[in-house]
Amino acid sequence: MKILKLTKEAKESLLSELIKRSPEHMANFETSVREILDNVKANRDKALFEYTAKFDGFELNAENIKVTEEEIESAYEKIDKDLLDVIRKSLVNIRDFHEKQKMNSWFTSTDKGIFLGQKVTPMKRAGVYVPGGKAVYPSSVLMNVMPAKVAGVEEIIMTTPCNSIGEVNPAVLVAAKEAGADSIYRVGGAQAIAALAYGTESIPKVDKIVGPGNIYVALAKKAVFGNVSIDSIAGPSEILVIADESANPKFIAADLLSQAEHDQMASAILITTSEKIAEEVQREIENFVEKLPRTEIIEASLENYGYILIARDIEEAVETANEIASEHLEILTKNPLETMTKIKNAGAIFLGEYSSEPLGDYFAGPNHILPTNGTAKFFSPLSVDDFVKKSSVVYYSKEALSDVHKDIEQFAKSEGLYAHANSIAVRFEED
């Protein structure tokens, strides 16, 4: 990792490097993604089957595209029973946390006959994408399916890649069943996003697509936005740690590496007020890398996007953290709660040395589908809110409208919209 003094130039260079990881800066993939989307939209199942044979090596057809109940039952026999217990414990925490996010419809009225409100309605059908590839993510299944379930979505459809003999990872299947997914299809990549967005003979069109994926999946979600809703365009994983001289360097090193092992483009950043901590963390990282698997990925991540920044004080560290707006932010200071109150931009905030980031990934309850690439400045973690719609409700009696109809007419005429004004005026012609 690079150890740098936190100067204005260093900060600007870092922000410039990090933004290059965004799917927005990978337009060279967009042509391929657009071709896949257009093909699936036009040829539906036929295109899905061809892409699955090409990319996954499995001959998909209308009879085997959907995972059967027998396969799911078999998956329960294949996974470790201790893992099943952990999935169920984690699911309780995730459900309890998201239950607290539920919104209710509300209405208010006056004695003049005005009735206003907001009606909250769950979406009818949601699509959940679960990636395959370099790692298996049953935790992402829980995090995507459960908020939709709590929101009251009628039908939750999941797509995930299969291997060359058509198998889907058993832990993924079990997690989907436990969380409440209604159907699972063995399709991955941009073609799965296209199927969820446009519908095919086998896979129905959904209202919203959620879940992380590779660059093709991210760009496909971006391209179909507007035809359906999406959660966000996810970039590579990232962690930022703010630490003072009281922090444990071994813990910091371990936490930085927990994200570096995700991907060669993952970022791991430490901002510390202590040069001693910076040097000790660097040594601990070197020790861990020698012992951990996925060494090649970790080393590439740290070489490209690993930074240790030495700040003048906590205020400068916090200011920089707010500019970076990291997906995961750990605060390892003498008073992490006080530091936390100054944080404005972060996907998830972890306080103290026993609140390591993987606690949030797997078990604590808050969602781990988080904004990346600085989008925590305006995006939030996946939540129950992502799966509901809000409709405004308006009722005015004749008496209530009579009091304000001339105001509305004047406003409409000022905009040159005389039919708008007439729509109000016509109700009072007799008067």
pLDDT tens, residue by residue, 360-418? 999 999 999 999 999 999 999 999 999 999 999 999 999 999 999 999 999 999 999 99
Across 325-337, average pLDDT: 97
| Per-residue pLDDT tens digits for 184-237 | 999 999 999 999 999 999 999 999 999 988 889 999 999 999 999 999 888 889
Out of 5-9, 133-137, 178-182, 289-293, least confident range: 133-137
pLDDT at 134 over 70: no
Q: What is the mean pLDDT of the chain?
A: 94
Nearest 5 degrees, angle CA 117-CA 122-CA 124?
135
For the entire predicted model, the pTM comes to 0.91
pLDDT at 152 over 80: yes
| Per-residue pLDDT tens digits for 227-252 | 999 998 888 899 999 999 999 999 99
| Per-residue pLDDT tens digits for 24-79 | 656 678 899 999 999 999 999 999 999 999 999 999 999 999 999 999 999 999 99
Q: Which residues contact 314 (CB under 8 A, 6 or more apart)?
A: 242, 244, 273, 333, 339
- The 8-class DSSP code of residue 55 comes to H
pLDDT band (50, 70, 90) for residue 1: confident
Q: How far apart are CA 208 and CA 372, in angstroms?
A: 19
Q: How far apart are CA 76 and CA 236, in angstroms?
A: 31
Give the CA distances from residue 175 to residues 75, 131, 145, 172, in Å, rounded to whole numbers and listed in that order.
10, 14, 9, 5
Nearest 5 degrees, angle CA 168-CA 174-CA 177?
110
Which pLDDT belongs to residue 135? Answer: 64
Closest CA to 329 of 356, 297, 302: 356
pLDDT at 431 over 80: no
| Per-residue pLDDT tens digits for 342-373 | 999 999 999 999 999 999 999 999 999 999 99
> 194 near 40, Cβ under 8 Å?
yes
Which pLDDT belongs to residue 379? Answer: 93
Catalytic residues: 327-328
Percent of the chain with pLDDT over 90: 85
